[in-house]
Structure 1
Amino acid sequence: MSPDVRLSVSWLSRVVLLFACCSHAFYIPGYSIRSYRDDENIPLLVNKVYSDNSQLQYAYFELPFVCPPTGRKHHGSSVASGHSIPLNLGEVLRGDRIKTSDLEVNMGQDIDCQYLCDRVVGRKEMKWAQQLIEGEFLTEWILDNLPGATSFVTVDRSRKYYAAGFKMGYKDFDVATGKERFYLYNHHTLVVRWRKAPGRAGDNGGKVIVGFEVYPKSISAGHRNETGCPLDVSGDQEPLALFIPANNSGLTEQYADSSYVPIEANEDLNDGATMTIPYTYSVYFREAKDVDWANRWDLYFSDQTGSSSTHWLAIVNSLIISGILGAVCIVIWGRTMQGDAKGRGDGVLEEARLRIIRRAEKKKSTTGLLEKPAEAAPEDDLMSDEEPLEEITGWKMLHGDVFRPPPYGGLLAPLIGSGMQLVFMIVGLLVLSCAGVLNPSWRGGFWSVAVGLFVLAGGFSGYFSARVYKTFGGQNWRKNTMMTALLFPGLVFTLVFVLNLFTWAQASSTALPFSTLLGLACLWLLIQLPLVHFGSYIGFYRSAVWEHPTRTNAIARQVPPQAWYTKHQITLALGAGLVSFAVLFIELIFLFRSLYLDKSSYYYVFGFLSIISALLSITIAETVIITTYIQLCAENYHWWWQSFFVGGASGFWIFVYSVWYYATRLHIEGFVSSLLFFSYSALACAVYSLATGTIGFLTAYMFIRRIYGGVKVD
């Protein structure tokens, strides 16, 4: 589905369009078409610079070697250059800092060359420019909500595609000196592709933008006319080298009697030496009749069309693994529900005890011998010719302990509540993404909706946490409520705040403003906390406790010696987690490439991701059923935490994969960038493990309730 898809004409869309007409400023990114008439100004916005080799980003106008905003207003525009565009929460979280620029772009007006400014920089500013070029930073400009793109063609020249952003410069050897030099792109050719607007707007002369390409070029400061433009923009020009001659006056005096003078430059960054960088640009409008407005984002995805086979391979791989585990679960279900039990769990033992009592009473009436009371009859009497040994051993022996509350249940309940909150958020994001609501044209929409869903799901978090806590026999529901509302969100907020200190020190736009942190804290404490409290009250006082099908003995049963794979919970969990990781592994390759290796591309195959997520959930449920059954057959009733660990163990393997990806695929440099990568990778894996661990816990709970009593979870 194309990111820019118009809403179907329905009563709801009519209401939205009516509101748009009344407000005169309503715009739905990706859905509302913006048309321009000839000579109408099109605002060109500048955002930031970013790199695949760094986790740090920088606002464009904060760079000391670019043209600063003059504050001049464009013809027909109400805002001046340098004006900050209002950002949504997601845009701030992703490091956007969008402002209007001084570049004049009017529909249909070609500009061969326009002078912008002369920027005088010293050695310090020049060094920063060289570092950004060395780090392969890309610049992001925006026109009509489209990011400025670098245009490419396939090897056979049969297809064209875009990569968002364009380079700031390049590194090459100077022919004259033979030394390595950095060259800055100081002239930008903008190619705006347009076509006639659909409908009535097109009949009235309206045009829509379907492409925005940027071709940067490095041109030296010499050979320019009186306007500041190069004499020949399109021809071959000497590039602009970022180089300030060394101050060797002191060295010349020191080596006055020698023909040798060292060539090392004076590294004093504040010696007052400067260079001038002239900036110019060109604008050309070209009609593109073969591109529809609704499909204008397709060129940003064309280079990824060959990966469809990879996604289908991931689905086939997931189906095979899920199918094998499903067959094992069917065998287990058959053994427990038909073979082993021939009934419903604990009923086998109760019926066996009744048969022993009847046999004892019959013996007493026929022989007259004194017998022990039936209730005191040893359980060894169950092992008679009428009751085979395999029917009363294994998991059936745990009927009085299998629902015994786990240790640290007061911690497990809040984790389950937060896990349900994350499951609700993830499902909502996948549904909205598959429906096309969340797409690249809605800049920052994914993170904005994610935060909104997480906050609103606080009621689910409190409800499930309270019900699990009540099932464990807890009484202090207020304490459980506060732990649910503060534990996981508090840890996340603390981590983000600490990492923000490092990005603040780097003057990076990745750092969240203090106002944003304050707003997030208000969402957490003023909205989510009351919702968690409300959900906890409903779950604890207005909902019945989950009744278990068997009674719990007063004295805990001793767990017999365990095999090596059930003796340590971590061993069984990691082994099972590796199976779940295998389901996600192939799709994870594509996801990591979009997130880290090629930030200029967009992850768009949410349909495939939704299918993989569904198969992953099924696989986790099957894995938990198998491991829980193995554990119960070993007469080990400590399954509560074990099911949670098994469900979330694949998050550990995802983090291991992240470490491997960092070491072998990425070229991230710098302590802060590495710290951000590992910290946010660990946070993402923790979120994943919390959600999948909750799925595992609920699966095991329903499975055990079923085999021990046939009672469905209410």
Structure 2
Amino acid sequence: MAGIRSRLCFLALSLLSTVHAFYLPGAAPHDYHEGEPVELFVNALTPMIAGHDDAKLKSLINYDYYNPAFHFCQPEGGPKKQPESLGSILFGDRIFNSPYDIQMLQDNGTCRLLCIENVPPHDAKFINDRIREDYAINWLVDGLPAAEMKVDQRTKEVFFDMGFNLGDDEGEFAETPALHNHYEIVLRYHRPRPDVYRIVGVLVWPTSRGGPQVAQPEGEVDCISPVPPLILSETQNNTVRYTYRVMWNESDTAWATRWDNYLHIFDPRIHWFSLINAVIVVVFLCVMVSMILVRTVSRDISRYNAIDLSEDVQEDWGWKLVHGEVFRTPQNPMVLSVLVGNGAQLCAMVAVTLVFALLGFLSPSNRGSLATVMMVCWTFFGGIGGYVSARLYASMGGTNKRRNSFFTATIMPTVVFAIVFLLDLFLIAAGSSGAVPFGVLPFGAAFVELYFVLSSLFASRAYYAFGFLALTAAIVALTTATVTILFTYFILCREDYRWHWRAFLTGGGSAFWLLAYGIVYWASRLSLDSFSSTILYFGYLILLALFDFLITGTIGFLATYWAVRRLYSAIRVD
């Protein structure tokens, strides 16, 4: 036996020597060599929350980087759109190439002229308005977003805040915003082995440099001497000179951990406190429901089953009294089965998406991967929704199965399409890059950890705490199921058999709290001046509440359906 074990150990070690590491799709590093071109891509301009504590989001409209009103420098031959995922397009990304000329480890400290643009008065007003709304410029280098280095005032930790301001409207520029037209670009690189370099950080310090235009030799620019800021006049033409300087800094950060500086939690205690609070609540509910179902229901079942059958008259009471009515067909069984079927489809979509996220497939470097996976899962899980809807409809005595299948497959997508289509019209009217091309519309959104999810959706912040999200989703599902079962038991004890719709509405009641929280978030964290932004926010909020209503309503109904069948199958009915 010892000889066999030694041979097995030797075989295992030999197999381990043949194992090779692999990267998840779309997450492999790019190895650069000195002098190799490094492409800088530009993305849509997005509104951001300013750095101070009382700052609010002022808009929800995204704008193309090459929107003619901005007058940004264009690459030779015109901008070329880069390939993007479906989810990236739906969430407003519009990625193009740029005229910035960057080579690995080159141009360290050399200031270069990018272009000189003429900005007329009406476009100057457009730019100034976007500066006052705290719009941010978004660049991408090797899959990493350009960021500004900032310090968290609570924890004093240094982090990278994605995007950088279009201009400055604070302090001395409060009345007349200053446009940032010079960019100090610092690229951090890591050297895993000799003559091989990997980009692990992209930092940009924008500044405003105005004053008279001094003639300089071709390609040489003075970007060090102090000059007044660039103030765009809204009454006359403006000349804007865009300049940049590239610097390279070696870093100890490995490529695999380069996102750590970007994914910053402003108050990590919020996650833990909310999670612990939710765990306490769900444990309390589970204990309470268990006490009711195990002690009270077991006692009732034993008492019912112990009735002497020899007696001529037997009197039922409590929930047993409605045993002949509890499975009677409820009102509008078609509508109920369609809602439950669509809710089951959404539940499967959320569950599988969370599994992919926990396994690391939804890396922030794969832009739009979350939305893409959710829509693909929604499409493939149509069979689950159809099966649950048809099975429930048949169990409630429904006979028109074709109509049930048709409504299950069409009503929910039609409602979502109608809402998003109307919102898309507002985006098109506002000239937003977030306007979706007709035919391709979003169908899903996350619904838990509301503050962080809403910040991710509306404030252009990356969301990555999928472990917390999965735990919170599990807690929400368990809480919904236990609360709905408990309330249904109380209904049956009152000798009321009409539990079907009440179970669904009780489970879906959390959607109204989500809607209320969204209103609080709008009042406390947003300052939307335009009518279009307000309509967009509440339109997306209604969609989130609708999805939450279907998901939690389905969880509550199916849990109650299972509990009621188990309950009445345990008693003797004569």
Q: Which of 86, 90, 105 is equivalent to 2:102?
A: 105
Separation in 1, partners of 2:439, 2:18: 38
Question: What letter matches 2:301 in structure 1?
Answer: A
Q: Which of 537, 548, 552 is equivalent to 1:677?
A: 537
Task: Give the drift of 1:153.
Answer: 3.2
Give the 3 Å change call, closer, same or farther, for CA 85–700 of structure 1 in structure 2.
same
Q: 2:35 maps to which residue?
A: 39
Task: Give the drift of 1:401.
Answer: 0.2
Q: 2:310 maps to which residue?
A: 355
Which residues of 2 match residues 156-175 of structure 1 at below 5 A?
159-171=157-169
Which residues of 2 match residues 133-282 of structure 1 at below 5 A?
133-154=131-152, 159-171=157-169, 180-197=175-192, 202-203=193-194, 205-227=195-217, 232-244=222-234, 246=235, 273-282=236-245
Give the 3 Å change call, closer, same or farther, for CA 280–403 of structure 1 in structure 2.
same
Separation in 2, partners of 1:650, 1:156: 32
Matched, 1:588 2:447: no
Q: Does the residue aligned with 1:309 lie in a helix, a strand or coil?
A: helix
Task: Give the drift of 1:226.
Answer: 2.2
What is the CA deviation profile of residues 327-360 of structure 1, one whole-angstrom value per residue up to 9, with x for unaligned ones?
22122113444211207x7x56xx65x3224xxx
Q: 2:93 maps to which residue?
A: 96
Question: What letter matches 1:628 in structure 2?
Answer: T
Which residues of 2 match residues 63-102 of structure 1 at below 5 A?
63-72=68-77, 82-102=79-99
Separation in 1, partners of 2:200, 2:455: 27
Q: Which of 128, 131, 148 is equivalent to 1:130?
A: 128
TM-score by length of 1: 0.72
RMSD value over aligned CA atoms?
2.5
Unaligned runs of 5+ in 2: 1-15, 48-56
Q: 2:115 maps to which residue?
A: 117
Give the 3 Å change call, closer, same or farther, for CA 57–431 of structure 1 in structure 2.
same
Unaligned runs of 5+ in 1: 1-8, 18-26, 73-80, 247-272, 358-380, 384-391, 522-580
Q: Does the residue aligned with 2:479 lie in a helix, a strand or coil?
A: helix
Given that 1:224 and 1:231 are in contact with CA atoms closer than 8 Å, whether structure 2 keeps it comes out as no
Separation in 1, partners of 2:243, 2:218: 8
Given that 2:190 and 2:199 are in contact with CA atoms closer than 8 Å, whether structure 1 keeps it comes out as yes
Q: Which of 44, 47, 51 is equivalent to 1:48?
A: 44
Q: Does the residue aligned with 1:193 lie in a helix, a strand or coil?
A: strand
Which residues of 2 match residues 634-673 of structure 1 at below 5 A?
634-673=494-533
Count residues with an aligned counterpart: 543
Separation in 2, partners of 1:490, 1:155: 46
Which residues of 2 match residues 113-512 of structure 1 at below 5 A?
113-154=111-152, 159-171=157-169, 180-197=175-192, 202-203=193-194, 205-227=195-217, 232-244=222-234, 246=235, 273-288=236-251, 290-302=252-264, 304=265, 307-342=267-302, 352=308, 354-357=309-312, 381-382=313-314, 392-512=316-436
Give the 3 Å change call, closer, same or farther, for CA 474–665 of structure 1 in structure 2.
same
Given that 1:440 and 1:602 are in contact with CA atoms closer than 8 Å, whether structure 2 keeps it comes out as yes
TM-score by length of 2: 0.89
Question: What letter matches 1:326 in structure 2?
Answer: C
Q: How many percent of aligned residue pairs carry the same amino acid? A: 34
Given that 2:38 and 2:141 are in contact with CA atoms closer than 8 Å, whether structure 1 keeps it comes out as yes
Q: Does the residue aligned with 2:42 lie in a helix, a strand or coil?
A: strand
Give the 3 Å change call, closer, same or farther, for CA 221–192 of structure 1 in structure 2.
same
Which residues of 2 match residues 469-618 of structure 1 at below 5 A?
469-514=393-438, 516=440, 587-596=449-458, 598-599=459-460, 601-618=461-478
Separation in 2, partners of 1:512, 1:12: 44
What is the CA deviation profile of residues 523-560 of structure 1, one whole-angstrom value per residue up to 9, with x for unaligned ones?
xxxxxxxxxxxxxxxxxxxxxxxxxxxxxxxxxxxxxx
Given that 1:115 and 1:281 are in contact with CA atoms closer than 8 Å, whether structure 2 keeps it comes out as yes
Given that 2:112 and 2:220 are in contact with CA atoms closer than 8 Å, whether structure 1 keeps it comes out as no
Task: Give the drift of 1:174.
Answer: 6.7
Task: Give the drift of 1:516.
Answer: 3.2
Given that 1:221 and 1:278 are in contact with CA atoms closer than 8 Å, whether structure 2 keeps it comes out as no
Matched, 1:692 2:552: yes
Given that 1:36 and 1:207 are in contact with CA atoms closer than 8 Å, whether structure 2 keeps it comes out as yes
What is the CA deviation profile of residues 663-708 of structure 1, one whole-angstrom value per residue up to 9, with x for unaligned ones?
1221122111000101110111110110111010011111111111
